[in-house]
A and B are shown apart, each in its own frame.
Chain A
Amino acid sequence: MSLIEILIITLIKILIILTLTLLTVSYLVYFERKISAWAQNRLGPNRVGWEGILQPFADVFKLLLKEDIVPNKANKVIHSLAPMVALFVAFTTYAVIPIGPNVQIFGYDISLVVADINIGILYVLALTSLGVYAITFAGWSSGSKYSLLGGIRSSAQMISYEISMGFSIAGVLLLSESLRPIAIVESQAGWMWNAVVQPIGFITFFVSAFAETNRLPFDLPEAEPELVGGFHTEYSSMKFAGFFLAEYANMIIASALITTLYLGGWQIPYIEKLGLADWLVTVFQVGSFFIKVGMLLFFFIWIRWSIPRFRYDQLMNIGWKVMFPLSLINLVWVAVLIMIFN
């Protein structure tokens, strides 16, 4: 392939991934509201369009038309930088997540990932830790006590959960022997899903993912009842929408990462034995990736409307005294497995 061809193909991929995520994010907000309503025996939004299907667009237009308020005491530059950082981090992470195996279209061999880099997981970790800066910036630059408290909580939370997250990923990497997301997916062929091989690591990563995305039960940076919204107290209009979008985009990333690392990515166990046509297999595999991500997203929302928020000290306790040792045990477990079977 020539340089131009690679450029065009990559641009098309970026366009597809970006529109896909933006659409998913907006409908995730819709489903969040719907599922919360169902869990509380309500109906949820059902006025705009059929069953409220156009609600996300109505929300966006409302937010666009709102006045953008910047507090007097705020540091104006950083105040407007924070939501940009949040969005940037949220959307760039998709670049390395593979949604399917390589496909042949018009004679080109195309991998279904925007950037197939061999340090993909490292890239994801680097970017997700950058996401803390968005929240800390927002908290600090707003010039409000509540926002500052939210920002501090966020950084403390991230530090304690990134460690157990890193160690759980280390378990995966021991098995796959590569940081390339595609290689990690391929190492989980058949029923050798990491969720089955290392269930403890799966649970620690899952819990850390909740903490990383600031979702309930770990949404202490927001904590509406105590912090009036935490880091985004002083945000309005599209800047607030930026944080809002970033939160849901992070949720999708977390789900996609869990799928890639622990649930076998796009793979369906033993699908090659059915003897289907190649293109059909690919379609099924891409579909299975989306179904897995979708189910995880539902689980994220479901958890939110079932479990109350942790107290700050409980959160720290779980992070350092439970999750961290558990992820170490998982690492040892994987090492023992490799010792025995290799």
Chain B
Amino acid sequence: MAEKKRLKDLSIWQKIYIPEIFKGLALTFKNMLKPKFTMEYPEEKFIPPASYRGRPVLVQEENGEERCVACGLCSRVCPALAIEVQAAETEREKERYPERFEINMIRCIFCGFCEEVCPEEAIVMSKDYELAFTNRQEAIYGKDKLLVPVSQLQDRIEFLRNYK
């Protein structure tokens, strides 16, 4: 085993201790004059980078339809069992769509598995981190809250194309 070396040979100035105290004081004083890191939250909001995993949302195309084909993979992979999908048929090109799509935000752990497993790029993690509810009913997000226009999610989709 390598022998541990301790810093024992302090110089006389270090032993007197007082100059070292003043060094410490100078350091804290310098820091008092430095710019502050604090972000004053409600007025000034943190805008996360594209790699941030916020609230999962469903991508809404320009024509107002969702991309989701209700395959149920996200629901299947979700480790917290937070997603519930009810599929239905439609006359549109993709033939299937989710009649009901619910994410229980109390259960969601923001792992991003749903987004990773999705074959249609239909569910992605947004930058939204302001999630607060006053009761459990409110915490279950339906399609009305989950659908977000694709233009707002371009950042994340590009990130996924580069790194997924």
Task: Write out, one digit per residue, whether chain A residues 217-244 have a CB within 8 A of any chain B CB (1) or not (0).
Answer: 0000000000000000000000000000
With beta carbons under 8 angstroms apart, the residue of A39, A46, A203 that contacts B28 is A39
Q: Within 8 Å CB of A203, what residues of B?
A: 18
In the complex the two chains form, is B32's CB within 8 Å of A35's CB?
A: yes
A43 within 8 A of B: yes
- Contact: A306 with B32, CB < 8 Å? no
Contact B24 A306 (CB under 8 A): yes
Q: Is A2 among interface residues, defined by CB-CB distance under 8 A?
A: no
Tell yes or no: A42 within 8 A of B by CB.
Answer: yes
- Cβ of A303 within 8 Å of any chain B Cβ, yes or no, is yes
Indicate if the CB atoms of B24 and A307 lie closer than 8 Å: yes
Interface size on B, residues (CB 8 A): 15
Q: Does A40 contact B (CB under 8 A)?
A: yes
Q: Contact: A40 with B31, CB < 8 Å?
A: yes
Residues of A within 8 A of B37 (CB): 41-42
B24 touching A38, Cβ below 8 Å: no
- Give the chain B neighbours of A40 by CB distance below 8 A: 31
Q: Is A123 an interface position by the 8 A CB rule?
A: no
Q: List the A residue with the shortest CB-CB distance to B21.
A: A307
Known: A302-B25, A306-B25. A39 touches B36 (CB 8 A): no
Say whether B27 faces chain A, with CB atoms less than 8 Å apart. Answer: yes
Chain A residues near B35: list those with CB within 8 A: 41
Whether A43 pairs with B28 at a CB distance below 8 angstroms is: no
How far is B108's CA from A35's CA once the two chains are assembled, in angstroms?
40
| Contact flag A43-B38 (CB < 8 Å), given A306-B25, A307-B21, A307-B24 | yes
CB-based nearest B residue for A217: B21
**Cβ contact within 8 Å between A41 and B36:** yes
Considering only residues 23-69 of chain A, those with a C-beta below 8 Å from chain B are 35, 38-43, 46
B13 within 8 A of A: no
Inter-subunit contact A306/B36 (CB<8 Å): no
Contact of B136 with A by CB under 8 A:
no
Q: Which B residues lie within 8 Å of A41 (CB)?
A: 31, 34-38
Flag B25-65 by CB within 8 Å of A: 1 or 0 each.
10111011011111010000000000000000000000000
Q: List 18 A-B contacts (CB under 8 A).
A: A35-B32, A38-B32, A38-B36, A39-B28, A41-B34, A41-B37, A41-B38, A42-B37, A43-B36, A43-B38, A43-B40, A46-B40, A302-B29, A303-B25, A305-B28, A306-B24, A306-B25, A306-B27
Beyond A35-B32, A41-B31, A41-B36, 13 additional pairs, beta carbon < 8 A: A38-B32, A39-B29, A39-B31, A41-B34, A41-B38, A42-B38, A43-B38, A203-B18, A302-B28, A302-B29, A306-B24, A306-B27, A307-B24
